[in-house]
Amino acid sequence: MNTVIVGTQWGDEGKGKIIDILSENVDYVVRYQGGNNAGHTVVAGSREYIFHLMPSGILHKGKICCIGNGVVVDPQVLLQEINNLRASKINIFGRLKISSLAHVILPYHRILDLLRETKRANKIGTTGRGIGPCYADKISRCGIRMIDLLNPKVLRDKLKDNLKEKNEVFKKVYGHPGFDFDKIYKEYLSYGRLFSSYITNTHLLLNKASKDKKDILFEGAQGTFLDIDFGTYPFVTSSSATSGGACIGTGVPPVKIDKVIGVAKAYTTRVGEGPFPTEFSRSFGCFIRDKGNEFGATTGRPRRCGWFDAVMLKEAVLLNGISELAIMKIDVLDGLKTIKICTAYKYKGKAFSEFPYDLEVLKGLKPVYKQMRGWPKTINNPKRYRDLHPCAREYLERLSGILKSKISMISVGSAREATIFK
Ligand code: GDP
Ligand code: IMO
Ligand code: MG
């Protein structure tokens, strides 16, 4: 069975936790897009791990973890993650595979990301990790790939050519001194040596695995509304975060995908700038942010919080082909008197039941809410669906009904055990 796990909102839905849990029963886990803008949290026992590039199944012995061709890799960050795992005595030898076709983040991508943000009138609020500029180079056909780090001549020629143009832009447009060829060349060749045993044709490996009836989990990063096409453009990331990205970003064809599971928070959060129809007022937003510990796993920035937006989720179900949902962090809503679900939008007297992509409409619309009864704090560690308060179940059933999707997992805490399978 080949299953895609996809974020349905603006990222940070709890994908890491779900991937970790489902990894136990698969053979391969593969990240298909994004880079170290992602922060996927896995809580195992008393330890919390935050993975940026490393697939979230890495804690499970024997599972093959791939970084697909659709991912952009910052070698410095990857090295740090490998070292952290080694320090935690987690053996990754023979288990980590990096696509030779994945693009590489270079120092000029990181700096350009930051400089562009300072120049923009409408800031995106990027993570500053160089993601956008690296994908831009990939599409402009001047990117450097993992395989290039293994070939000194190819790397030299590509890097020389890139720096010639880039250094001029840095100097003339941004007043930045530019970058030294020798320093980058040496550093990146050394990454090539360090990673040579991990770099391979993961698209061949995964297709063989699929042919051999192995189970593969495709790990999405970010979320549907950060997708470069279907997100709230331009306040998006630079990759295809929707389930279609799983094929492009791994080389496993669409006919081989069996199932798509969508991960959604029981409410909504967003880090960075951009429209957010159901965003809470400031004080209630702070209250939920503290209750849900809503601070970015990558940058530590406070996340903006709001009610569950079923208009968005319906769109996400459609775009990703979701047949099952995992609803996360329902515990954070414990103790609220009333809970709201956004079922439509209104703009200048006109009702919208579909997600509007016009930025002006998105910024000016008013959500239409269905109000539900809240519930007191659930009993400690609910294990079964029936342990949940009747009003919590009513809320979940309402969501399932509106979205016409089965809710197969409900998360009531960050630990692995705090998960109800339905
Ligand atoms: P991801 O990027 O989608 O993997 O999500 P993040 O790791 O960025 O953010 C999710 C956060 O919520 C992490 O800190 C998780 O440990 C935490 N978390 C996941 N599920 C639950 C849950 O059901 N309840 C609570 N309270 N926290 C959760
Ligand atoms: P995970 O995988 C939440 C947001 C940034 C910014 C926008 C563009 O942990 O869910 P970028 O650096 O990608 O150019 O920034 O996208 N963003 C995320 N928000 N979770 C993420 O990843 C994100 N990755 C990027 O905050 O608004
Ligand atoms: Mg995250």
Could you list the active site residues?
Answer: 12, 40
The protein residue whose alpha carbon is closest to atom 28 in ligand 1 is 414
Question: How far apart are the CA of 228 and the centre of ligand 3, in A?
Answer: 17
| Residue 387 burial (10 A CB sphere; 0-12, 13-18, 19+) | middle
In 223-267 the beta strands, taken as DSSP E runs, fall at 259-265
Q: What is the pLDDT of residue 166?
A: 98
CA-to-CA distance for 387 and 393, rounded, in angstroms? 9
Ligand 2 interacting residues, C-beta cut-off 6 A: 7, 10-12, 34, 37-40, 124-127, 129, 131-132, 221-223, 226, 237-238, 271-272, 297
Q: What is the pLDDT of residue 79?
A: 98
Pairing of strands 324-328, 406-411: parallel
Task: Return the ∠ at Cα 307 (arms to 306 and 310), rounded to 5°.
Answer: 125
Q: What is the pLDDT of residue 5?
A: 98
DSSP state of 276: -
Helix pair angle (107-119, 152-174), 10° resolution: 20
CA-to-CA distance for 226 and 35, rounded, in angstroms? 13
Cα 302 to the center of its chain, rounded Å: 17
CA-to-CA distance for 405 and 3, rounded, in angstroms? 16
Q: Which of 70, 42, 44 is nearest to 56 (CA)?
A: 42
> For the chain, how far is it from start to end, CA to CA, in angstroms?
19
Ligand number nearest CA of 303 is 2
Residue 321, by phi and psi: left (phi above 0), alpha (psi -120 to 50) or beta? left
Question: How far apart are the CA of 152 and the centre of ligand 3, in A?
Answer: 35
Question: How far apart are the CA of 129 and the centre of ligand 2, in A?
Answer: 10
Q: What is the pLDDT of residue 72?
A: 99
Q: What is the pLDDT of residue 377?
A: 81
Tens of pLDDT along the chain (422 residues) come to 999 999 999 999 999 999 999 999 999 999 999 999 999 999 999 999 999 999 999 999 999 999 999 999 999 999 999 999 999 999 999 999 999 999 999 999 999 999 999 989 889 999 999 999 999 999 999 999 999 999 999 999 999 999 999 999 999 999 999 999 999 999 999 999 999 999 999 999 999 999 999 999 999 999 999 999 999 999 999 999 999 999 999 999 999 999 999 999 999 999 999 999 999 999 999 999 999 999 998 889 999 999 999 999 999 999 999 999 999 999 999 999 999 999 999 999 999 999 999 999 999 999 999 999 999 986 778 999 999 999 999 999 999 999 999 999 999 999 999 999 99
Indicate yes or no: pTM above 0.85: yes
Q: What radius of gyration, in Å, describes the C-alpha atoms of the chain?
A: 22
